[in-house]
Structure 1
Amino acid sequence: MAQDEPLKQVLETLVQLVESEMPGALCSVLLLDESGQHLLNGAAPSLPDFYNEAIHGTEIGSGVGSCGTAAYENRQVIVEDIQPHPYWQPYAELAARADLAACWSEPIRDRQGKILGTFALYYHEPRAPQASEIELITQLAHLAGIAIEHHANEKALRASEEGLRAERDFVDAVVEAAGSIIVVMDREGKIVRFNHAAEEITGYSFEEITGYSFEEIQGWPIWEYLIPEEIREDVEGVFNNLNFHRFFRSAI
């Protein structure tokens, strides 16, 4: 999952709020990358930079610290004393250098239960959580999940809108570059697009023709350009038929 400023600010605000209410706690939010295999820094302003840099990109797995294990096994992992714990043996020296002695980690999930990352509390001394703290870390991970999921949904919506805009721009470019007359009507039969070739060939501009229906321009000089003579009678019959059905529906 890509990290950007709006999400980072939200997560850092959450982390700082927790730290202000829990003296001695150092909070960390790690986010799963798009592959779902690696943890990336989300927010950990109170942890040393060298520590954050060292764990950034860590592959999740059983026994990979508190957070790597929590994300991989989808469960809360409480390590009361880092140095002797088997999960932390590969990182014991790093933790000692950062003066970290305990780490409690909770998976961050979306509403469907998919793992998004981890929410962790570190302490400078070995420490076991109280029941109220276990409940709190679960609630905090839930709040982080809401923020991350909302950000992901907003990002997907923006990408979808940008994709639709690009597709529309491409169609517009093709229509305008076409050498043949292209006229587009809406559901009411009104002309809503009149490409450049149509303007050049007929002598009418888009502004002059837009909003008119085909039946309204029957008899205009433009009609002979739009509808070849050999099919004109058939086309006029179609529009007359459409008008009949439109009148019939409105009468009902």
Structure 2
Amino acid sequence: MNHSTQSSLDRPIWAALTGRQAHLRQGDLLARRYHPDVAPFAAVACETPAAYQTLHQLLLPHEQVALLSFDPVDPVDALRAEPMGMIHQMVATRHEARGTDDLEVIPLGSVDAKDMLDLVQKTKPGPFGKRTHEMGNYIGVRDRGRLIAMAGERMHLDGFVEISAVCVDDAWRGRGLAGRLVNVLRRDIEQRGETPFLHVLGDNHSAIGLYERLGFELRRRFILTRIRHADPGAA
């Protein structure tokens, strides 16, 4: 990977919001966030009081966003920072050589939004909002009309696409559905000449094991931090 690639993956939220997903953002040159209905992620241009003050202005008193950083976040007094854990960034390091089984895999879109939200609420794969499906291609599997598994594309950087929202209803776990969906997305991303990557909580050992078996390797670790107003009543 060249230096610009490294920089992009080191700051994936900022890279997405200043590049291919700028149409989904709120903010300016100092701080940016995804629209609240799209994703709860934000980033600052640099670690300065002015940047964090701009981020504060982007948040309503009841709202919160999540930041990725190498070091603990120290925002301005008007904001509260709450560490949420370590995030592993994993990148596909080899192409999927085998044929990908996409039997019964279907595209998902706006008409499926309610079912997608219902599945996410049951399985808790991570943040997913009313418009998250607008971030990229989402696919799933239905059983007698019921959505039982899904996965999709979240952050888009130059040359890289994040795979996210990988989830399977508990009653259908253990049948290889998550791996199938990830491989279908991976195949499509690689056919476009891009590299798949993903983020997973460091304590989610089962998911990390699955992604390693699918050919993803740890690139680096981030601190995940929740940011909110220090005094929500002061608007």
Q: Is TM (by shorter chain) over 0.5?
A: no
**Structure possessing the higher radius of gyration over alpha carbons:** 1
Please state which band the TM-score falls in when normalised by the shorter chain: under 0.3
Higher relative contact order (CA 8 A, sep 6+): 2
Task: Report the TM-score, using the length of structure 1 for normalisation.
Answer: 0.21
Report which of the two has the higher share of strand.
2
Structure with greater proportional helix content: 1
TM-score in terms of structure 2 length: 0.22
